[in-house]
């Protein structure tokens, strides 16, 4: 599948979809607290997307080749779950960390973003993992400009995570996005500078590093979707959808209450 450069009209539609996806995370934030189930978070997000925004939850019944249809409207990955956690009866407790991954479809275009949440008072180690992963995402975004390569993005992310003593999950990556949920290019979160496709204005893709507190190895649970760390260590992920502009980048999944961009200059050097 070839990389498609988006037209100005398509870019504007992607801005709308991205903003709506981010607003779901703004909406759900006050509900992420001890005692709530991941299934309740899914229900609340679903009702907000469908009933308030008029969007379609992209994960619901999504079935790529080799997978059973995904049964819920969002992904909720708790503690050692890396990604694609299925909401259900799991009750969040103080000290947990959880990733909420939201993808909406508006007028045929996808907006995709995720955030980490700490439930109650998380440990220093858990908070540091979430913070470093947030920095990794933004350090990756900072590499985006015409002429840069996908390897530039992955190298910057990998270097920052490993310098902090963490590891990068390699089996999952960011992806092009537009009218389809997953398009080319694949955005690896590790790699070497100067390697891979060169970025061009009009590309839109996600940057969504998955960072483990322990080893990078993962496994899939019997539900066919949930990915966990093999060593049961904590895992964190953040995600934005990014447009390559003529001069650099534009983050499309922005909202009023999104977490602030971290100060990166010293640590990214």
Would you list the domain boundaries of the chain?
8-268
Runs of H (alpha helix) within 81-226: 124-142, 150-163
Identify the pLDDT of residue 259.
Answer: 95
> Helices 124-142 & 150-163, crossing angle to 10 degrees?
160
For 75, residues 6+ apart whose C-beta sits below 8 A from its C-beta are 59, 83, 84, 85, 86, 87, 99, 100, 101, 114
DSSP three-state, residue 219: strand
Spatial separation of the C-alpha atoms in residues 249 and 242, rounded to whole Å: 7
For the full predicted model, state whether its pTM sits above 0.85: yes
Which DSSP letter does residue 198 get? Answer: B
pLDDT per 10-residue tile (average), the chain, 269 residues = 93 98 98 98 98 98 95 98 98 98 98 98 97 98 98 98 98 98 98 97 98 98 98 98 98 96 63
- What is the secondary structure of 234-252 as a DSSP string? -EEE-BEEEEE-SSSEEES
Class of CATH domain 8-268? alpha beta
Of 102, 174, 107, the C-alpha closest to 137 is 174
């Amino acid at each position: 599948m070839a990389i498609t450069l988006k037209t100005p009209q398509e870019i504007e539609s992607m801005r709308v979809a991205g903003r709506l996806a981010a607003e779901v995370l703004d909406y759900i934030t006050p509900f992420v607290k001890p005692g709530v189930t991941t299934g309740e978070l899914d229900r609340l997000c679903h009702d907000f997307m469908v009933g308030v925004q008029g969007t379609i939850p992209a994960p619901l019944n999504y079935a790529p080749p080799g997978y059973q249809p995904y049964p819920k409207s969002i992904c909720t990955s708790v503690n050692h779950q890396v990604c694609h956690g299925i909401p259900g009866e799991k009750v969040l407790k103080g000290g947990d960390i959880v990733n909420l991954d939201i993808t909406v479809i508006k007028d045929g275009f996808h907006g995709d973003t995720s955030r980490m949440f700490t439930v109650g008072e998380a440990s220093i180690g858990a908070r540091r993992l979430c913070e470093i992963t947030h920095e990794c995402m933004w350090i990756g975004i900072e590499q985006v400009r015409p002429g840069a390569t996908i390897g530039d993005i992955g190298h910057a992310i990998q270097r920052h995570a490993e310098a902090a003593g963490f590891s990068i999950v390699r089996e999952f990556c960011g992806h092009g996005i537009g009218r389809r949920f997953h398009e080319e290019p694949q955005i690896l979160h590790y790699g070497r500078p100067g390697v891979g496709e060169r970025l061009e204005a009009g590309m839109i893709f996600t940057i969504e590093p998955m960072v483990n507190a322990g080893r990078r190895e993962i496994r899939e649970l019997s539900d066919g979707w949930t990915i966990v760390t093999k060593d049961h260590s904590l895992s964190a992920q953040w995600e934005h959808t990014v447009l390559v502009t003529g001069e650099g980048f534009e983050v499309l999944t922005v909202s009023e209450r999104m977490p602030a961009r971290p100060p990166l200059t010293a640590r990214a050097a």
